[in-house]
Amino acid sequence: MSLPSTDPHSAAELVRTVQAGETTAAALLAAARARAEAASGLNALISLNDHADEQAVAVQSRLAAGESLPLAGLPMVIKDNLNLNGTRTTCGSRMLEHYVSPYTATAVQRLLDAGAVIVGKANMDEFAMGSSGESSAFGPTLNPWDTSRVTGGTSSGSAAVVAAGLVPVSLGSDTGGSVRQPAALCGVYGLKPTYGRVSRYGLVAHASSLDQIGPVARSAADLALLMNVIAGHDGRDATSLDAPPAFAAGTPEDLRGLRVGVITESLGGNTAGVSAVLNATLDALRGAGASVAEVSLPALKHAIATYYLISMPEASSNLARYDGMVYGSREPGGDVLGSMTRTRERGFGREVQRRIMIGTYALSSGYYDAYYSKATRVRRLIANEFSAAFADFNVLVTPTSPFPAFRLGEKMNDPLTMYAADVDTVAVNLAGLPALSVPAGFEEVDGKRLPVGVQFIAPALQDELLVRIAGGLEGIGAVRAEEAPGYAG
Ligand code: GLN
pLDDT of residue 252: 81
Report pTM. 0.97
Q: Structural domains in the chain?
A: 8-488 (3.90.1300.10)
Q: What is the mean pLDDT of residues 225-252?
A: 94
Model confidence at 249, pLDDT cuts 50, 70, 90, reads confident
Nearest CA residue ID for atom 2, ligand 1: 176
Cα–ligand 1 centroid distance for 309 (angstroms): 12
Q: What is the mean pLDDT of residues 17-28?
A: 97
Rg for the chain, CA atoms, rounded: 21
Model confidence at 253, pLDDT cuts 50, 70, 90, reads confident
Measuring CA to CA, which residue among 32, 54, 52 is closest to residue 44? 32
- Checking if the pLDDT of 80 tops 60, the result is yes
Q: What is the mean pLDDT of residues 134-151?
A: 97
**Before 154, cis peptide (omega within 30)?**
yes
Q: Are 231 and 198 in contact (CB under 8 A)?
A: yes
Q: Which of 93, 212, 311 to mutate to test the pocket of ligand 1 (most atoms within 8 A of CB)?
A: 311
Point out the catalytic residue in the list 178, 199, 266, 437: 178
- Checking if the pLDDT of 334 tops 90, the result is no
Any atom of ligand 1 within 6 Å of the Cβ of 214: no
Cα–ligand 1 centroid distance for 174 (angstroms): 7
Q: What is the mean pLDDT of residues 165-171?
A: 96
Task: Tell me how far CA of residue 65 lies from CA of 16, 61, 68, 69, 117, in angstroms.
Answer: 17, 6, 9, 11, 18
* Strand pairing class (142-143; 117-122): unpaired
Model confidence at 306, pLDDT cuts 50, 70, 90, reads very high
Q: What is the mean pLDDT of residues 436-444?
A: 98
Q: What is the mean pLDDT of residues 133-142?
A: 98
Which one-letter amino acid corresponds to residue 420? A
Active site residue 178: yes
> Max alpha carbon distance in the chain (Å)?
70
pLDDT of residue 8: 54
Q: Which of 158, 426, 429, 437 to mutate to test the pocket of ligand 1 (most atoms within 8 A of CB)?
A: 426
pLDDT in tens, 343-385: 999 999 999 999 999 999 999 999 999 999 999 999 999 999 9
For residues 268 and 371, give the distance between their C-alpha atoms in angstroms, rounded to a whole number.
Answer: 27
Any atom of ligand 1 within 6 Å of the Cβ of 128: yes
Q: Are 472 and 288 in contact (CB under 8 A)?
A: yes
pLDDT of residue 4: 38
For residues 444 and 449, give the distance between their C-alpha atoms in angstroms, rounded to a whole number.
Answer: 4
- Checking if the pLDDT of 71 tops 70, the result is yes
